[in-house]
Structures are given as structure tokens and as C-alpha cells.
Amino acid sequence: DAGVTQSPTHLIKTRGQQVTLRCSPISGHKSVSWYQQVLGQGPQFIFQYYEKEERGRGNFPDRFSARQFPNYSSELNVNALLLGDSALYLCASSLAGGSSYNEQFFGPGTRLTVL
Amino acid sequence: KNQVEQSPQSLIILEGKNCTLQCNYTVSPFSNLRWYKQDTGRGPVSLTIMTFSENTKSNGRYTATLDADTKQSSLHITASQLSDSASYICVVSELTGGGNKLTFGTGTQLKVEL
């Protein structure tokens, strides 16, 4: 069974553009979380979705949005890209979103570079 | 503000040696603490998860300890191997009514050399 998959693996955009990142969770997992990891830092929580509803949001501007589809896959959208948005974007899936103990399994990430 | 601080920031050891990484946190209310290993450019991989009542948990050559009173954790790596070279991230989960709220440390960058 495949783990968490993310696409694309790498992406180069210019300032002001918009980007969509995609994530497919492990089969049977209903919760997806998104994180931003700037080089040399730990991941920062952006969003969590469970059963297609937003269950948590980190301290990110409204330029960041996400959604979860009926098959539990998810997209992260970032509008009006800034140089500071350059980072590794990680997706993590877990069985459910209701318990903090649910282990999260991370995907390989999407490396976004904004020029 | 919930914080997770790790030390040292980076570490270089010789293959076969042991090492201990530290994690201090202020996250409250506490739910659990996790240690992840992250290879460069890859997603983090879970090593251990400990709840409030667990003091020690092992996973092969990795042994994590937790002192919930002092809000400290350590990750001990025994007989290090070249493949242990990675970033080790301490993650503390906040007890919430719904959803996972994780606070990540900035990681300890470990390099194992011959």
C-alpha cells in the first residue's frame, strides 16, 4: 500500500503567481494536515481537514487556502506568492482528526521556489 | 505561546558512538510527544510517541525519555550508523477537543562520520 503521496515534487513560480499543491493520504485515512517547512526550521502547521471540513488553522494569511475532496485527497492553494513562501510543503495523513494521539504520516513534500 | 526548543542545534559524532538529543517544551495542555527523523528533502518519519504516563520508549537503537513534570524529553541513539545522519525533530501535541495541534521544534541536525 502506498504511503502519503504529494505532487508535484518540485515547483518554481514567480512572485504574484498562484500555486496548487496536491496530496493523497494513506488509504483509509480521513484526515489531512498541511505544513510549511522553511529551510533550517521545523514544520509550521497550516491547516487540518477531516471528513472534508476544516478542523484547524495555523497562523497563515488568507492567501493560503485548502480543501479536502470526497476521496480524502486534498489541495493547498497559495495566491499572490511572495519570496518568503519558498519552502518545503508537507502533507500528513492520519486515521481521524478527533484525537491528538492519532499518529501522522508525512509525505515526501513539495519543494516550492518563488523567484 | 506554545514552544518546543531543541538542543544542540547540530551535532557531529563518529560512527559507533552514542549521543543524546534534548527537547524542552512549554506546550499546555500536554497530550503526547513525538520524535521524528527527517532526511534532507524528505518528509519526517515517526520514531516514537509518548503520552503523559510513559517515561521511556524504545525503537531499535532509539530510546526516548519523557519527564512531564519538568517538560523535558531526550532521544538517545546507541551505536550510531552513517544512516542516522538526519534532522531529529521533537513534536509536542496539544490536548484539544478536536483535531491535531502539533508544535514542532526546529530540530537537531545530526551528522555521523567515519
Contacts of A42 in chain B (CB under 8 A): 4, 89, 91, 104-107
Interface check B29 vs A, CB under 8 A: no
Q: What is the mean pLDDT of residues B82-91?
A: 96
Contacts of A45 in chain B (CB under 8 A): 101-104
Please tell me what DSSP assigns to residue A62: T
Determine contact, residues B40/B86, Cβ cutoff 8 Å.
Answer: yes
Q: Of residues B102 and A29, which shows the higher confidence score? A: A29
pLDDT for res A101: 57
H runs (alpha helix) in chain A: none
The CA distance from A90 to the nearest CA of chain B, in Å, is 7
Q: Averaging pLDDT over each range in A46-60, A89-103, B67-81, which range is the top one?
A: B67-81
Contacts of A108 in chain B (CB under 8 A): 41-43
Angle at A78 between CA A75 and CA A80, to 5 degrees: 155
Asked if pLDDT for residue A113 goes beyond 70, the answer is yes
pLDDT band at A100 (very low <50, low <70, confident <90, very high): low
Asked if pLDDT for residue B41 goes beyond 90, the answer is no
C-alpha span between A37 and A48 (Å, rounded): 16
pLDDT band at B99 (very low <50, low <70, confident <90, very high): low
Q: Is A83 helix (H, G, I), strand (E, B) or coil?
A: helix
Q: Do A97 and B98 touch (CB under 8 A)?
A: yes
* Neighbouring C-beta atoms of residue B61, cutoff 10 Å: 13
Asked if pLDDT for residue A95 goes beyond 80, the answer is yes
* Neighbouring C-beta atoms of residue B28, cutoff 10 Å: 11
C-alpha span between B95 and B89 (Å, rounded): 19
C-alpha span between B103 and A14 (Å, rounded): 30
Nearest to B76 by CA among B27, B113, B35: B35
Asked if pLDDT for residue A12 goes beyond 90, the answer is yes
Angle at B28 between CA B26 and CA B33, to 5 degrees: 75
